[in-house]
Amino acid sequence: MTPKTPLFEKLALIGIGLIGSSIAHACLRGNLASKIAIATRSPETLGEAERLNLGSSYHLKTEEAVKDADLVIICVPVGAYETIAKTIAPHLKEEAIVSDVGSVKNAVIRQMKPHLPENIHFIPGHPIAGTEYSGPSSGFASLFDDRWTILTPLKDSNEKAVQKLTQFWEGLGSKVDIMDANHHDLVLAITSHLPHLIAYNIVGTADDLEGVTQSEVIKYSASGFRDFTRIAASDPTMWRDIFLHNKDAVLEVLGRFSEDLAYLQRAIRWEEGDKLFELFSRTRSIRRSILEAGQDIDAPDFGRTKQKDD
């Protein structure tokens, strides 16, 4: 896990929120880069990163941070990628690997590829990990441990560069999968984007419902609702950008979701209990598979209910 010689001489992180700062922590833990340059356009955020001692140099200008970097990782909301690509392109080192952590991949390629020079290695990536918190102080070294990172190399991506980026993510604690950008965007639409949209939506519906006060929604939230409020507390800018940049796949899975929901609605209206029971039994077994795959803890209620017993 801890190589004697770091994999990279210089890592540049563009953006230092939850994911950027967690990469910095895990990179230090694994000794994966000799230097870490950190760039963000917000002086406050940069100051916070510096106080946390996350890097070896701190920059308000991205073009300064990427200078001489062997690995550049973009860790900002996906709406900002095109501007960044244009800005850094003339300053990239030859043979540098340029990657990112964005939750959509087709739109990232569309935005960046036309602006990047031919002599670098552009390999988009996406670590499937996170919490509902944001900002430099929300990051931690173990965020990627036992989670998956998906790389979506282009057809002409250099095999050695892909291998090196894979090693880097493994060094951060992650397992790595390779797939194409289209498939990534569909998989994430169902496993991540739709769940977030549904969570945001139900929290909004509850907030707007006449006849039930906000204080009642809050008091009785332990009956199920509170689970949704966690992911509905995720960063609004990041998530707005995700929905705008994975429109087709999100609309596709959302159509399926609504169709299935209409089926349940009809089953309730006509009191077809067997249809409900069949689905509710099937979903239980999917939960079991997730626990068996080590992708969630099996403690009741995510372990948050204290079980001091009698």
Residues in 42-101 at the binding interface with its own copies, rule: CB under 8 A: none
Contact 15, 40 (CB under 8 A): yes
List binders of its own copies among 98-137 (CB under 8 A). 103, 128-133
**Nearer of residues 89 and 233 to its own copies, judged by Cβ:** 233
**Nearer of residues 47 and 273 to its own copies, judged by Cβ:** 273
Q: How far is the CB of 193 from its own copies (least distance, A)?
A: 8
The residues near 68 (Cβ < 8 Å, ≥ 6 apart) are 9, 10, 93
Q: How far is the CB of 158 from its own copies (least distance, A)?
A: 26
Q: How far is the CB of 92 from its own copies (least distance, A)?
A: 29
**Nearer of residues 66 and 188 to its own copies, judged by Cβ:** 188
Instruction: Please work out the total of residues on this chain that contact its own copies, with binding judged by CB under 8 A.
Output: 119
- Cβ-in-10-Å burial (0-12, 13-18, 19+) of 289 comes to exposed
Q: How far is the CB of 78 from its own copies (least distance, A)?
A: 12
List binders of its own copies among 243-262 (CB under 8 A). 243-244, 247, 250-251, 253-254, 256-258, 260-261
Separation in Å, CA 53 to CA 37, 125, 157, 268, 288: 11, 25, 34, 56, 41
Spatial separation of the C-alpha atoms in residues 227 and 242, rounded to whole Å? 21
Phi, psi of 155 (to 5 degrees): -60, -35
Query: Could you say whether residue 35 binds its own copies (CB under 8 A)?
Result: no
Spatial separation of the C-alpha atoms in residues 30 and 1, rounded to whole Å? 6
Torsion sign over Cα 84, 86, 90, 93: positive
Contact 108, 100 (CB under 8 A): yes
Q: How far is the CB of 138 from its own copies (least distance, A)?
A: 7
Q: How far is the CB of 117 from its own copies (least distance, A)?
A: 30
**Nearer of residues 61 and 133 to its own copies, judged by Cβ:** 133
Q: How far is the CB of 33 from its own copies (least distance, A)?
A: 14
Spatial separation of the C-alpha atoms in residues 113 and 85, rounded to whole Å? 8
Phi, psi of 12 (to 5 degrees): -115, 125
Closest C-alpha among 118, 112, 108, 111 to residue 150: 108
Binding residue for its own copies, selected from 143, 165, 172, 181, defined by CB under 8 A = 143
List binders of its own copies among 149-188 (CB under 8 A). 150, 177, 183, 186-188
Spatial separation of the C-alpha atoms in residues 62 and 14, rounded to whole Å? 7
Query: Could you say whether residue 194 binds its own copies (CB under 8 A)?
Result: yes
List binders of its own copies among 195-214 (CB under 8 A). 195-209, 211-212, 214
Query: Could you say whether residue 36 binds its own copies (CB under 8 A)?
Result: no
Stretch that binds its own copies, among 5-13, 32-40, 160-168, 288-296 (CB under 8 A): 288-296
**Nearer of residues 60 and 262 to its own copies, judged by Cβ:** 262
Spatial separation of the C-alpha atoms in residues 95 and 206, rounded to whole Å? 52
**Nearer of residues 119 and 265 to its own copies, judged by Cβ:** 265
Tokens of 77: 């909301």
**Nearer of residues 94 and 309 to its own copies, judged by Cβ:** 309
Q: Give kind and range of the element (H or E) at residue 253.
A: helix 247-269
Q: DSSP letter for 138, please.
A: G
